[in-house]
Amino acid sequence: MKLLADNAPSGMKEQKFESYFGRKIAIDASMSIYQFLIVVGRSGTEMLTNEAGETTSHLVGMFSRTIRLLEAGIKPVYVFDGKPPDLKKQELAKRYSRREDATDDLAKATETGNKEDIEKFSKRTVKVTPQHNEDCKKLLRLMGVPAVEAPSEAEAQCAVLCKAEKVYAVASEDMDSLTFGAPKFLRHLMDPSSKKIPVMEFDISKVLEELELSMDQFIDLCILCGCDYCDSIRGIGPQTALKLVRQHGSMESILENINKERYQIPDDWPYNEARRLFKEPLVVTDDEQTELKWAAPDEEGLVNFLVKENGFNIDRVTKAIEKIKTAKNKSSQGRLESFFKPVSTSAPVKRKGTKCVLVSLIPVTKFKTLSLRSRPGVPGGLIYPSLGLRSGRPRASEIIYVLEGELLVGFITTDNDLFSKVIKPGEVFVSPRGLVHFQKNTGKSLASIIAAFNSQLPGIQLISPTLFGSSPPVPDDILAQTFLTTTAKIALLRKIFV
Q: What is the pLDDT of residues 42-85, one digit of tens each?
A: 666 677 777 778 889 999 999 999 999 999 999 999 999 999 98
Asked whether the predicted pLDDT for residue 267 surpasses 70, the reply is yes
The average confidence (pLDDT) of the chain is 83
Q: Among 12, 393, 146, which residue's Cα sits nearest to residue 3? A: 12
The answer to the question of whether 398 is labelled as a binding residue is yes
CATH of the domain at 402: 2.60.120.10
69 and 153 co-located in one domain: yes
pLDDT at 356 (0 to 100): 41
In a domain, 195, yes or no: yes
pLDDT bin (cut points 50, 70, 90) of residue 273 is very high
In a domain, 236, yes or no: no
286 and 412 co-located in one domain: no
Residue 87 is given by DSSP the state G
Higher-confidence residue: 460 or 108?
Answer: 108
206 and 162 co-located in one domain: yes
pLDDT bin (cut points 50, 70, 90) of residue 379 is low
CATH of the domain at 28: 3.40.50.1010
Asked whether the predicted pLDDT for residue 367 surpasses 60, the reply is no
47 and 108 co-located in one domain: yes
319 and 358 co-located in one domain: no
Higher-confidence residue: 257 or 353?
Answer: 257
Instruction: Give the residue numbers spanning the domain of 311.
Output: 2-211+282-330
Q: What are phi and psi of 172, to 5 degrees?
A: -165, 170
pLDDT at 364 (0 to 100): 39
Burial of 178 (0-12, 13-18, 19+ CB in 10 A): buried
Contacts of 449 (CB under 8 A, 6+ apart): 372, 373, 374, 375, 400, 401, 402, 403, 405, 407, 439
Sheet holding 12-15, edge to edge: 12-15, 199-203, 184-187, 169-171, 24-28, 75-80, 147-149
Burial of 250 (0-12, 13-18, 19+ CB in 10 A): middle
pLDDT at 333 (0 to 100): 57
In a domain, 186, yes or no: yes
Higher-confidence residue: 44 or 189?
Answer: 189
325 and 413 co-located in one domain: no
In this structure, of 61-75, 243-257, 319-333, 338-352, the range with the lowest mean pLDDT score is: 338-352
In a domain, 469, yes or no: no
Last residue of a domain, one of 274, 302, 330: 330
SS3 454: coil
pLDDT at 279 (0 to 100): 94
Asked whether the predicted pLDDT for residue 339 surpasses 70, the reply is no
82 and 196 co-located in one domain: yes
Query: Is-contact 338 357, C-beta < 8 A?
Result: yes
In a domain, 248, yes or no: no
294 and 443 co-located in one domain: no
290 and 364 co-located in one domain: no
d(CA 230, CA 166): 31
Sheet holding 369-373, edge to edge: 369-373, 448-453, 398-404, 428-431
Q: Report the domain count for the chain.
A: 2
Maximum Cα interatomic distance, the chain, rounded to a whole number of Å: 87
pLDDT at 290 (0 to 100): 73
202 and 181 co-located in one domain: yes
129 and 98 co-located in one domain: yes
Higher-confidence residue: 123 or 79?
Answer: 79
Asked whether the predicted pLDDT for residue 358 surpasses 60, the reply is no
In a domain, 237, yes or no: no
pLDDT at 129 (0 to 100): 92
pLDDT at 150 (0 to 100): 94
Distance of CA 279 to the CA centre of its chain: 21
Higher-confidence residue: 428 or 332?
Answer: 428
Q: Among 53, 54, 52, 76, which residue's Cα sits nearest to residue 64? A: 76
Query: Is-contact 29 23, C-beta < 8 A?
Result: no
309 and 365 co-located in one domain: no
Pairing, β 169-171 against β 24-28 = parallel
The answer to the question of whether 58 is labelled as a binding residue is no
pLDDT bin (cut points 50, 70, 90) of residue 415 is confident
In a domain, 381, yes or no: yes
Give the global pTM: 0.67
Burial of 182 (0-12, 13-18, 19+ CB in 10 A): buried
pLDDT bin (cut points 50, 70, 90) of residue 351 is very low
In a domain, 307, yes or no: yes
pLDDT at 447 (0 to 100): 81
pLDDT at 158 (0 to 100): 95
Distance of CA 93 to the CA centre of its chain: 32
